[in-house]
Amino acid sequence: MSMPARCRSPRGVVRLPDPVPLERIADYTEDAAHYSGGHAARVFVPANEGEVAAILASASRVLTVGAQSSLTGGATPFGDVVMSMTTMNQVLEVCQDEVRIGPGMTVAALDERLAVSGRYYPPLPTFHGATVGGVVATNAAGAATFKYGTTRRWVNGLTVMLANGDVLDITRGEHHAHAGACVVQLTNGTTITVPIPNYQMPSVPKLSAGYFAAPDMDLIDLFIGAEGTLGVITEARFKVLPRRPTVCLALTTFADAGLGWRCASALRQASLTTRVAGDPHCADGGESHRGLDVSAIEHLDRRSIQLLREAGVDRREGVDLPADSAVALLVAIELPRDRDAALAAFAEIVDAHDGLDRTIVAMPEDSVGAARLLRVRESVPLLVNHAIAQARQRDARIEKTAADVIVPFECIPELDAYCAAAFERHAVDGAIWGHLSDGNVHPNVIATTYGEVERGRAAMLDIGREAIRLGGAPLAEHGVGRNPIKKQLLTELYGDEGMREMRAVKQALDPQSKLAPGVIF
C-alpha cells in the first residue's frame, strides 16, 4: 500500500502582493479562444509560494493563467480573481537528465536555455509561447508525439498548491492509488481520500479529456491534464535528453489521398521497426539507431492546400504544391550519424507511393529551407483565423469553429471521409490539418455567416461522436476549458456516471470549487 502524500506549508512569507492596476486588468480578460464577456475581479502576479497562498486565501474564485493561449476559453476569467504565474519563470536547476523550472517559463525560453548545454525537451507544443504550467495543466503535446509522447511522459515531479494553501511535493513513483483512491495528508493532520474514477480512457497517443484515471495510478498524473481545477502548479521537474536530435524535413504531396495515408502508414511502420532495438531516451539522444526514424508526420488536406495556393503562400515560399494535390505530408526524420541508409529508406517508401518527384527536402544544414516548409504548414491555421477575423467584422457573433479529435491511426481514412461528409451534410466550408502520425486532426469550419457557425457546431459534434465510435476521443490536446461543445463531448465520452466520478475528485481536493470555476464542468 502506498503511503499518504503529505502536504507542507508554503515557503516564503504568506503576503498578498499588490494587485495589477485597474487599467491593466483588461490585458488578462481574454485568451486565444476570444470568448466575449471576459472580466476579472482583480489580477495578481505572485512571485513565490507565499504570495500564491495569500491569493488563494483572499478569494473565493481563482483562475490561474500563464500565456493565456488556451483555445477552449480555459484561461478566460468570468468574475474570477486572476493569478498570472508569468513572473515565476526561472530555471531553478539543470541536471544531466532533468530540469527544474517555474510554471511561468515559456517552452521557447526553456528550449533556448537547454540548447546552451546541448539538452533537449522533446514534447514541445506547436505554440512555443506556452508556459510550463500551461502545458502540464493540459497534458500538451507537440508534433513529435509519435516518437516522444505527451507532456505526461516527461514529468518527473510537480509542486502543487491545493485550494486551502497546503503544498504537495510529488515525485513520480512515490504515491499510487490503492483500493480505488489516493490519500493526501494535510498540514493540520487530517487526511482526505481522493476517489479515482472508474471510466476507461481511450487508448490513444494523446488525450486531454478531464481527469486521468487508471487502477494503481500515480498521484502525479491526477494533476497533469486537470486544467488547473485541482491545484496550482508552482514548480515542475521535466526529463530531458542529453542532446538535440539532427532533423531533416521533407514535404511531399499526393494526387490521391489514399496514397498519402498508405505512405504515412509505411513511414510509421518503418520507424517503429527501427526503434524496436533502441530507446528514444538513450544516452546519445537516439543517434545510435540505424534505418528510418520519423518523429512526426503533419498533414494538410486538399482544402488547406487550396487556401495556400489562393493566398500565394506556395509562390512566396518557393514551395511547389501541385494543383491536383489531395494531401500534403510534412515529415520530420531524425538522422543518425550515417544518414544515407535512413534517407534511402525514406525515398524508397515515398517512391513506392508515387510521391518522390513531388517531394522537397530540407537537410539539417538548410535552416532557411526548413523554415520555409514550416511556414507553409503554419500558414494554413493563420489563413483560416484571418478569414474568421474578417467575417467577425461583419458579424461579431462569428467565431472559430473547430474540433480536436484523435482516432487510432488505421481509422484515419474513415474519419477523413466522415469529416468531408459532415461538412457537406451541414453545408459548410471546411479544412483539415493536424498531426497525422498520432491520428490527431483538426477539422476547421471557414464560416462567413453566423448560420455557418451554427451549422459548423453541429458538424463538430458529429465529428467528435464519430471519433468516439472509432475508439478515439474528441479531446486530444487542447483540453475542455469552457467550450460547451467540448463539455458535451466529454460527457458523451465518459457518460453521466463518469462525470459524477470526476466531480467527486474535484470535491475531495477543492470542496469550495475555488480553482478554475466553470472549467471542465
Same domain, 351 and 425: no
Residue 426 domain-assigned?
yes
Domain boundary pick from 349, 379, 409 = 379
Domain count, the chain: 2
Cβ atoms < 10 Å from Cβ of 273: 13
For the stretch 60-98, pLDDT in tens is 999 999 999 988 889 999 999 999 999 999 998 988 899
CA atoms within 13 A on the CB side of 392: 15
pLDDT at 297: 98
In whole angstroms, give the CA distance from residue 259 to residue 255.
8
In a domain, 504, yes or no: no
**pLDDT of the residue at 83:** 97
Round to whole Å and give the CA distance between 140 and 381: 18
Which range, of 1-10, 35-44, 168-177, averages the lowest pLDDT? 1-10
Q: Tell me how far apart the alpha carbons of residues 372 and 375 are, in angstroms, rounded to a whole number.
A: 5
Residue 285 has pLDDT above 60, yes or no: no
pLDDT of 282 reads 42
Q: Is the pLDDT of residue 359 over 80?
A: yes
Q: Which grid coordinates belong to 224?
A: 497533469
Torsion angles phi and psi, residue 462, rounded to 5: -60, -45
CATH number at residue 271: 3.30.70.2190
**Distance between CA atoms of residues 365 and 383, nearest Å:** 29
CA nearest neighbour of 248 among 337, 146, 363: 363
Answer yes or no: do 334 and 436 share one domain: no
Q: Does residue 374 sit in the same domain as residue 310?
A: yes
474, part of any domain:
yes
Average per-residue pLDDT for the chain: 94
In whole angstroms, give the CA distance from residue 447 to residue 34: 16
Angle at the Cα of 56 from the Cα atoms of 155 and 500, rounded to 5 degrees: 65
Residues 409 and 357 in one domain: no
Q: Which three cell numbers, joined as nine digits, stand for 337? A: 550519424
Looking at residue 347, its amino acid is A
Within this chain, do residues 252 and 368 fall inside the same structural domain, yes or no? yes
**Residue at 464 is within a domain:** yes
CA distance 330 to 369: 13
- Residue 279's pLDDT is 47
Q: What is the pLDDT of residues 407-445, one digit of tens each?
A: 999 999 999 999 999 999 999 999 999 999 999 999 999
Instruction: Please tell me the distance from the alpha carbon of residue 490 to that of residue 471, in angstroms, as a whole number.
Output: 14
Cα distance between the two ends of the chain: 32
Does 359 share its domain with 442? no
- Taking 60 as the threshold, does the pLDDT of residue 263 lie above it? yes
Q: Which domain holds residue 415?
A: 395-478
Task: Out of 344, 379, 414, pick the residue that ends a domain.
Answer: 379
Q: 409 with 358, same domain?
A: no
On whether residue 384 sits in a domain, the answer given is no
For residues 208 and 278, what is the distance between their CA atoms, to the nearest angstrom?
28
Residue 276 is predicted with a pLDDT of 77
Give the residue-averaged pLDDT of 193-216.
96
pLDDT in tens, 115-161: 998 899 999 888 889 999 999 999 999 889 999 999 999 999 999 99
Q: Given pLDDT bands bounded at 50, 70 and 90, which one contains residue 283?
A: very low
* Mean pLDDT, residues 233-258 taken together: 96
The position carrying cell 503529505 is 6
Grid cell 548545454 in the structure block, residue: 117
Both 264 and 344 in a single domain?
Answer: yes
Say if CB 383 and CB 442 are below 8 A apart: no
In DSSP terms, 301 is beta-bridged to 327
Q: What's residue 428's pLDDT?
A: 97
Q: What is the pLDDT of residue 505?
A: 98
- For residues 304 and 441, the answer to whether their CB atoms sit within 8 Å is no
**Whether residue 349 sits in one domain with residue 408:** no
How high is the pLDDT of residue 281?
Answer: 43
Answer whether residue 145 is part of any domain: no
Section 319-337 average pLDDT: 96
pLDDT at 3: 81
Q: Quote the pLDDT of residue 508.
A: 98
Whether the predicted pLDDT of 286 surpasses 80: no
Q: What is the mean pLDDT of residues 15-35?
A: 93
Same domain, 362 and 467: no
CA distance 305 to 321: 7
Q: What is the DSSP string of 273-313?
A: HHHHTS-TTSTTTTTT--S--EEEEEEEEHHHHHHHHHHTH
Question: What count of residues does the chain have?
Answer: 521
Beta-sheet strands, E only, within 108-265: 155-161, 167-171, 181-185, 191-195, 232-239, 246-254
> Three-state SS for 65?
strand
> 451 near 424, Cβ under 8 Å?
no
All three cell numbers of 188, joined, read 493540520
- pLDDT at position 33, please? 84
Residues whose CB falls within 8 Å of the CB of residue 327, separated by 6 or more in sequence, listed in order: 253, 254, 257, 260, 261, 299, 300, 301, 302, 305
pLDDT category of residue 50 using cuts at 50, 70 and 90: very high
Q: Please report which confidence band the pLDDT of residue 278 belongs to, taking 50, 70 and 90 as the band edges.
A: low
What is the residue type of 69? S
H helical segments located in 171-256: 220-223
Q: What is the CATH number of the domain that holds 460?
A: 3.30.70.2740
Q: What is the mean pLDDT of residues 313-323?
A: 95
Same-domain check for residues 366 and 325 = yes
* Angle formed at CA 462 by CA 460 and CA 468, multiple of 5 degrees: 105
**% of the chain with per-residue pLDDT over 70:** 97
- pTM metric for this prediction: 0.93
Q: Same structural domain for residues 413 and 466?
A: yes
Domain edge (last residue) among 322, 344, 379 = 379
What was the pLDDT predicted at 252?
97
Name the nearest CA neighbour of 62 among 514, 520, 521: 514
